[in-house]
Amino acid sequence: MPATELRAADTDRTAVAEALGRALHEGRLTVAEYDERLASAYAARTHADLAVLTADLPTPATTSPVSYGSCGGDGDLRNAWRGYLTVALIVWAVYLASSVAGGFGYPWPVWVVGPWGAVLVARTLSTRGALARR
């Protein structure tokens, strides 16, 4: 029996529903098309029934990393670095303001910005390496 004739499971239907939701969010489907395909997805009995619903949509592997959330594209990295720098500036400002008033003590912000920065540097290097290999 061909794999497309196998019965679909609830997890298969949910995966197709999520792909359709991404396509709607990206503007690849209209609301009417989404509603129609979503109803068909939950009524599907076989893998072939499901495959037809996403046949004209790109898969996450065929699109740019930036389009799919946490895949680590440049846009994601920029946003991560912006968040990091914002928080770093705030905690250092709090530290400096409290130190001026009460004397310079232990530089506790290093425990906030240090590990987070190390993770971001590692993520940036690994993502740049992966993008360069493509």
Reading the block at residue 66, the tokens are: 């930036």
**Residue 51: its pLDDT value, please?**
93
Do 50 and 96 lie in one domain? The reply is no
**Residue 56: its pLDDT value, please?**
93
Domain end call among 12, 43, 63: 63
Do 43 and 92 lie in one domain? The reply is no
Ranges of residues in the chain whose predicted pLDDT is under 50: 63-72
d(CA 12, CA 104): 58
Question: What is the chain's Cα-based Rg?
Answer: 23
Query: Tokens 């609301």 sit at which residue?
Result: 31
Where in the sequence is the domain holding 37, given as residue range(s)?
A: 3-63
d(CA 110, CA 128): 26
Ramachandran angles phi, psi of 30, nearest 5°: -80, 170
Do 41 and 86 lie in one domain? The reply is no
**Residue 85: its pLDDT value, please?**
93
Do 59 and 93 lie in one domain? The reply is no
How many domains is the chain partitioned into structurally? 2
Domain end call among 18, 43, 63: 63
Do 82 and 126 lie in one domain? The reply is yes
Domain end call among 63, 78, 110: 63
Beta bridge partners of 7: 46
Are the C-beta atoms of residues 60 and 96 closer than 8 Å to each other?
no
